[in-house]
Structures are given as structure tokens and as C-alpha cells.
């Protein structure tokens, strides 16, 4: 089969259209949260790795934060460890947190690093524990008991939320021309204990600390949808809060949008929720006029 060469005029047009966006993000830091659900497809993983490598080549500084919930779930099943979720978060006991760290900071992290390197990038794997990057406090959540209707405090075990972020390691890695790939595990603020941190929350904290120009949250949905299931292309923080309050934003999208609000309020210029299984979603969002997904800004 003969494959025709791309039209040079089309190639030139694409480069001309992309140039203003390359200039907009030149030397800027872009944090990309790579969700566990978005990782499940081999083609999507390759497109993602290509996109991240290209960003670095054109002068943008990508920082990748990844999840791995589905992969953790599969490993726990293989080991016969039962997963329990409360208030939307995985209850993480001593045995589970060891598996979580092994999967997140080990196999998943190194797979992503290897994929980016295979596409011409220079990635290095880290976790929130490296260099004291992220210190976390124990998460406290409450739920309503369905029988008594009383509010109860839920003990999630070794689940944490970022308390502080030291950007020194990230700054050093970026300045050394590497691409940091960070697993969302952290050390406790008051000791050596390891905490499992929700990847969305972790990415928001990292993006806020480095004052990222963009935080891209890659997931398995197109973005935020209105009541008619149409994509909402842009939201202000105020509009996002209103849509949560009236129920338009519901379920698993609520914590994602709350992370968007959190990051914007900490200095991130804009946060985008987009479908990580769309071919070259990162490049489309950053370097084309139409973009992709839902942009949340102040």
C-alpha cells in the first residue's frame, strides 16, 4: 500500500496557526494530570507521550502528574485485598498503602517515563516524597448515615491531602531539561508515614505551587456537560460553583471541577478538563484555535 506524503501547504498552514500558541506558552509551565482511565488505551498512551515530548521540544515545560486507580484496583484484586470506598475515596489501610505506593511510584510511573523517552523526550520519575516535594495531612471526611441520617466522620486510613508543596525539586528537574513525571504519594507533615493522595487534588496543588499557566486534567469524558449533555467550553469560577449548586455538575465531575477552582484560586491561569483518549488532546488544547474540553478560569 502506498502512503501519500502530507501536502507541504497543509503542513505550513498548521505551523503558522500553531505559532502564536507556541509563543503564548513559551517557557511556561503546564501541569498535565494523566488519569488512570485515560491510560487504558495503548494508542492514547502513545499520543500522550508524543504530545508531552513535543511540548518540551517547542519550549514549554510540562509536568506530568498521574493517577492509577484502575491499575491499583486490579492489583488489589489479584492479591485478594478487598477495596472499600467511602465519600468517593479509597479506604487505604497499612497493607493497601504499600500496594498503592508500589503501583503508583513504581510500575505506572516508570511505564509513563519509558513511553515519553521512547518518543524522544527526557522524562524522570518522581513521587511527592522525593526531596520533600509534597507533605500531606490526613484526610477527614463526613458522610450521612442512611439509617440514622446522622453525620458521621469517616476514617479513610492513610489517605492524605496536600498541606504544603516545596517546588525546589521540580524547578531543578525542569531547569535540567527533563520532564518530571510525579506519582501522587506524599509524606505526612508530622512524620515519615506515607499517604495516598487523590491524583486530581495532588495535580491542583502542584499546579498552584509552580504557578502553572495551564493545568490539563485528562480523563475519559469530553469535559463539563450542560443539562442537555452538550459540552460547556468555558466556565468562570463563579459559574462553576453555580452549576455544582444547581446539580448540573454532579457525581464524579464535582471533585474535578472543585480541583479546577482550587488551582485557579492559587494562581493557575486556567484549568481544562478534557478527554485523554482523543488523539493528541494535549496539543489540540494548547496549540490550536479551537482547543478541547472545558476551560475554567477566574
- Quick one: pLDDT band at residue 38, thresholds 50, 70, 90? low
C-alpha cell at 78: 489479584
Helices 42-57 and 109-118, axial angle in degrees (round to 10): 60
| pLDDT, tens digit (0-9, with 9 covering 90-100), for 163-193 | 999 999 999 999 999 999 999 999 999 888 9
pTM > 0.85: yes or no: yes
pLDDT score recorded for residue 155: 81
pLDDT at 251: 82
Residue 201 · residue 259 · CB < 8 Å: yes
Q: Which long-range contacts (CB under 8 A, 24 or more apart) does 227-235 make?
A: 231/293, 231/294, 232/294, 233/291, 233/294, 233/295, 234/294, 234/295, 234/296, 234/297, 235/294, 235/295, 235/296, 235/297
The pLDDT tens digits of the residues spanning 252-269 come to 888 899 999 999 999 999
SS3 labels along the chain = CCCCCCCHHHHHHHHHHHHHHHHHCCCCEEEEEECCHHHHCHHHHHHHHHHHHHHHHCCCEEEEEECCHHHHHHHHHHCCCCCCEECCEECECHHHHHHHHHHHHHHHHHHHHHHHHHCCCCEEEEECCHHHCEEEEECCEEEECCCCCCEEEECCECEEEEEEECCHHHHHHHHCCCEEEEECEEEECCCCCEEEECHHHHHHHHHHHCCCCEEEEEECCCCCECCCCCECCEEEHHHHHHHHHCCCCCCCHHHHHHHHHHHHHCCCCEEEEEECCCCCHHHHHHHCCCCCCEEEEC
Instruction: Classify domain 30-293 at the CATH topology level.
Output: Carbamate kinase (3.40.1160)
Write a three-state SS string for 200-261: HHHHHHHHHHCCCCEEEEEECCCCCECCCCCECCEEEHHHHHHHHHCCCCCCCHHHHHHHHH
Block residue for cell numbers 488523539: 279
Each residue's pLDDT tens digit, 212-251 = 999 999 988 899 999 999 999 999 999 999 999 999 998 8
Q: Tell me how crowded residue 102 is: count the other CB atoms within 10 A of its CB.
A: 14
Q: Averaged over 127-153, what is the pLDDT?
A: 85
Whole-angstrom Cα distance, residue 210 to residue 102? Answer: 26
Mean pLDDT computed over 41-50: 90
Quick one: pLDDT band at residue 298, thresholds 50, 70, 90? Answer: confident
Average pLDDT over residues 57-81: 89
Q: Residue 2 above 70 pLDDT?
A: no
Q: What residue segments make up the domains of the chain, in order of their start?
A: 30-293
Q: What's the mean pLDDT when you consider all of the chain?
A: 89
pLDDT at 146 over 90: no
Burial of 85 (0-12, 13-18, 19+ CB in 10 A): exposed
Dist. CA 49–CA 151, nearest whole Å: 44
Cα(224)–Cα(248) distance, integer angstroms: 9
Is the pLDDT confidence value at 3 over 60?
A: no
CA atoms of 179 and 31, how far apart (whole Å): 11
Q: Per this entry, what is the length of the chain? A: 298
**Residue 6 pLDDT grade (very low, low, confident, very high; cuts 50, 70, 90):** low
Within a 10 A sphere around the Cβ of 95, how many other Cβ atoms? 12
pLDDT at 157: 86
Per-residue pLDDT for 9 more than 80?
Answer: no
Amino acid at each position: 500500500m502506498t502512503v501519500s506524503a502530507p501536502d507541504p501547504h497543509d503542513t505550513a498552514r498548521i505551523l503558522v496557526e500553531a505559532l502564536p500558541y507556541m509563543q503564548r506558552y513559551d517557557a511556561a509551565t503546564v501541569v498535565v494530570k494523566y488519569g488512570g482511565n485515560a491510560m487504558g488505551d495503548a494508542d492514547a498512551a502513545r499520543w500522550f507521550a508524543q504530545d508531552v515530548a513535543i511540548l518540551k521540544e517547542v519550549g514549554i515545560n510540562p509536568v506530568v502528574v498521574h493517577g492509577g486507580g484502575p491499575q491499583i484496583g486490579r492489583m488489589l484484586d489479584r492479591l485478594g485485598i478487598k477495596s472499600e470506598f467511602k465519600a468517593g475515596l479509597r479506604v487505604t489501610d497499612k497493607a493497601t498503602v504499600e500496594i498503592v505506593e508500589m503501583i503508583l511510584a513504581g510500575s505506572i510511573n516508570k511505564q509513563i517515563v519509558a513511553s515519553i523517552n521512547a518518543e524522544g523526550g527526557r522524562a524522570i520519575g518522581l513521587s511527592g516524597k522525593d526531596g520533600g516535594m509534597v507533605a500531606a495531612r490526613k484526610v477527614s471526611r463526613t458522610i450521612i448515615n442512611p439509617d440514622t441520617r446522622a453525620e458521621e466522620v469517616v476514617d479513610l486510613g492513610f489517605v492524605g491531602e496536600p498541606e504544603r508543596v516545596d517546588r525546589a525539586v521540580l524547578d531543578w528537574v525542569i531547569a535540567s531539561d527533563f520532564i518530571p513525571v510525579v506519582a501522587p504519594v506524599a509524606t505526612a507533615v508530622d512524620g515519615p508515614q506515607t499517604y495516598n493522595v487523590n491524583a486530581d487534588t495532588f495535580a491542583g496543588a502542584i499546579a498552584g505551587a509552580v504557578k502553572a499557566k495551564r493545568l490539563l486534567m485528562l480523563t475519559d469524558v469530553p469535559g463539563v456537560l450542560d443539562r442537555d449533555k452538550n459540552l460547556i467550553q468555558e466556565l468562570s469560577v463563579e459559574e462553576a460553583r453555580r452549576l455544582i449548586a444547581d446539580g448540573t455538575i454532579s457525581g464524579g465531575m464535582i471533585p474535578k471541577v472543585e480541583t479546577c477552582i482550587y488551582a485557579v484560586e492559587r494562581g493557575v491561569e486556567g484549568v481544562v478538563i478534557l478527554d485523554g483518549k482523543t488523539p493528541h488532546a494535549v496539543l489540540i488544547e494548547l496549540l490550536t484555535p479551537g482547543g478541547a474540553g472545558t476551560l475554567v478560569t477566574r
